[in-house]
Amino acid sequence: MSIPLMQLHRFVTAARLGNLTRAAEQSNLTISALSHQIRQLEERLDRPLFSRGPRGVVLTEEGRALLESVGGHFDGIERAMAGYRKRRAEVVTISSVPGVVTGWLLPRLPDLVARHPELELNLQSSNDLVDFERDAVDAGIRYGMGQWPGVQVERLFGEWMVPVATPAVIDRFSGLDADDMAGWPLLGDPSDRWTRWFATHGGSPPVRYVARFDTSEALQRAAMEGVGVALGRMVMARPLIASGALRQIGSRYLVTAESYYLARSPRAVEHAGFTTFRAWLFEQAQTYRQDAELAR
């Protein structure tokens, strides 16, 4: 039985990402075209590879077995071809968590463009960890404890959190103590930031939140829509506070254990464009750290 190699490659991409939309984008296809190729593969193999439901697709047992059998071979092809790809010295590809892209990196990019017009920056916004052996990415900016195996990690700056809400929400609850958050309409998140907040500053978290969100981006958006009070990461919230869209409540803040790091591939040290970008990035990070200390 002859199986088109491209169909297998599309299957591996979708299986690893666990999301047909993202897999289609990475493969430069429409979702319809990608789905059609996967269905053709399932028909050729006469077995389902994905279980399709309202929440998306999940690998079946047969799908997991196929991924385990063929996935490594595509990794080997990628590694073998990596040495043949001609890399332009001025092109730099960076993967970054979305909050850093919108709240920290984008406002600073005009300075990079003005000072280094020769650079061509490819910026990928993603929470996924980068596989430097498989992905054509020079470095990733990530938020965490800095413990990612197999990569070279350098700390950029720390993070702290403050309660933020729209001016309308703050005016509506103006009679409450700005440094005692127990009575405010709080927005919850999966990392349980408010529990740490109350453990540090006293009091107890609410029995129920106004609403809960699974990402920092959704949490911040809810705060901007006036849903309630978010404990916002300052990398994302600070530009919105400066613009007046959000306001900080009270004077207390919470320093997080996590920080932002630059995780880079071993081959990046040989890339002239990345060396230039890294020097600029750490210059910006140092200035940001100094400004942050003054702000606190």
pLDDT number for residue 83: 52
- 67 and 180 in a single domain? The answer is no
- 23 and 170 in a single domain? The answer is no
Q: Cα–Cα distance between 92 and 86 in angstroms, integer?
A: 13
- State the CATH number of the domain containing residue 236: 3.40.190.290
Read off the DSSP letter of residue 230.
Answer: E
- Please determine, for residue 288, whether its predicted confidence score (pLDDT) is greater than 70: yes
- 149 and 61 in a single domain? The answer is no
Look-up: residue for tokens 């207390």? 252
Residue where one domain finishes, among candidates 82, 114, 131: 82
- State the CATH number of the domain containing residue 30: 1.10.10.10
The predicted model scores a pTM of 0.67
- Number of structural domains (the chain) is 2
pLDDT band (50, 70, 90) for residue 152: confident
In single-letter form, the type of residue at position 45 comes to L
65-74, 126-135, 243-252, 272-281: range with lowest mean pLDDT = 126-135
pLDDT number for residue 84: 45
- 107 and 34 in a single domain? The answer is no
Contact 247, 167 (CB under 8 A): yes
CA distances, 291 to each of 37, 76, 107, 235, 238 (Å): 52, 46, 15, 12, 11
Q: Which residues of 225-244 are buried (b: 16+ CB within 10 A; e: fewer)?
A: eebbbbbbbbbbbbbbbeee
- 75 and 105 in a single domain? The answer is no
- 60 and 179 in a single domain? The answer is no
- 18 and 117 in a single domain? The answer is no
Q: What confidence tens digit (pLDDT) does each residue in 4-40 have? A: 788 888 888 888 888 888 888 888 888 888 888 899 9
Q: What confidence tens digit (pLDDT) does each residue in 176-187 have? A: 988 889 889 999
- 160 and 207 in a single domain? The answer is yes
Contact 140, 95 (CB under 8 A): yes
Better pLDDT: 111 or 33? 111
Task: Using alpha carbons, select from 48, 49, 43, 47 the residue that is nearest to residue 14.
Answer: 49
Task: Using alpha carbons, select from 7, 40, 35, 13 the residue that is nearest to residue 26.
Answer: 13
Instruction: Report how far Cα 85 is from the mean position of its chain's Cα atoms.
Output: 27
Phi, psi of 216 (to 5 degrees): -65, -35
- 233 and 101 in a single domain? The answer is yes
CA distances, 249 to each of 11, 103, 159, 231 (Å): 49, 19, 18, 10
Task: Using alpha carbons, select from 138, 219, 214, 155 the residue that is nearest to residue 186.
Answer: 219
- 123 and 212 in a single domain? The answer is yes
Find residue 144's DSSP bridge partners: 259
Measured at the CA of 26, the angle between CA 20 and CA 29, to 5 degrees, comes to 70
The residue segments making up the domain with residue 52 are 5-82
